[in-house]
Amino acid sequence: MQKLSVTVLERMIESGVSSREVDFILYVGKFQNEYGTAEGIYYKDICDAVSLSVQGFYNCKKSLEEKGIILCTKNSYYDYDITILDNSFAGKENFGRGYISLHLKLFSMKEFRNLKAGAKLMTMWLLREWLIYKSKSGKLSYQILKDTFLKKFMGLFHMTARTVRSYLGMLKPFLNVYLKEGKKYYITFLSSVASSVPGQNSENEELREHNVSTACRRNRIKNDTDAERKEICTILSQHHSELKKAGISLSDIVKNSLEIINAGIRNKSRWKRYLNSSLIHKLLIGELRACMS
């Protein structure tokens, strides 16, 4: 569920998040479920993905918690479960006001990553406005009077008109801006930027791969094979609809499989730790039936 609600975007703007905090939220948003929770966020993964230091990770996490944007839970020794507050898409509440898809090429671009926080947030806000305007009007360009545009962003970001124009100039790699007769802006995002990431897995596939990696890390499985991982992802895909309703943890299923594989071995340091897709599938079906009964 790679979406960010406008409620969250507004809170990010109001609280004055840093550029790195924007990157942090966008990373977490890639792996959240429909309730806005991303299980198994590992500090090393996020540091590598958004070029954060270890201290930078903890600084961002603490700051975003204090600003009321995320809630972090330590359900595992190895990683965190992080919820982006007010970002649930389990119902209709966040579809109505609008949202931003995070499965776009824009958010993987180095040029976007290097922007200042204000310019990043302006890009995201304009993207939402452009998509809504295009959907309602059928026109490719988002049209807005220059004075209205400047007042809007001066109020939103508490910045001067000069800074607003400066930030707009930074967005040239992502959109075209035409000022007609010095009075009206015509803003059009480049199709390559506003399209889904090419050659990448779907949102659900990325989430399934992330959940398998989390289950392996939490159960200290290091010698799993790509074939077993792919098979488990296929199993999760086959039961996608049921799993959305049941809220079953793959990590717990894998843990149960290891207990069966190592039955009779009390010393867990001597356990054989590997993925057994057929056993995991059997346990998963059992859990689904229990949830439905």
Kindly state the average pLDDT of the residues 207-221. Answer: 92
Residue 1, pLDDT score: 76
Task: Report which of residues 293 and 257 the model is more confident about.
Answer: 257
Kindly state the average pLDDT of the residues 214-232. Answer: 89
Kindly state the average pLDDT of the residues 181-192. Answer: 90
pLDDT band at 96 (very low <50, low <70, confident <90, very high): low
Residue 205 has pLDDT above 80, yes or no: yes
pLDDT band at 149 (very low <50, low <70, confident <90, very high): very high
Residue 214, pLDDT score: 93
Residue 199, pLDDT score: 52
Residue 197, pLDDT score: 65
Distance CA 267, CA 1 (A): 39
Q: Which tens digits make up the pLDDT trace of 5-63?
A: 999 999 999 999 999 999 999 999 999 988 889 999 999 999 999 999 999 999 999 99
The values of phi and psi at residue 52, to 5°, are: -105, 145
Q: Which tens digits make up the pLDDT trace of 100-131?
A: 888 888 998 899 999 999 999 999 999 988 88
Residue 118, pLDDT score: 92
pLDDT band at 264 (very low <50, low <70, confident <90, very high): confident
Residue 153 has pLDDT above 80, yes or no: yes
Least confident range from 48-62, 174-188, 233-247: namely 233-247
Residue 215 has pLDDT above 90, yes or no: yes
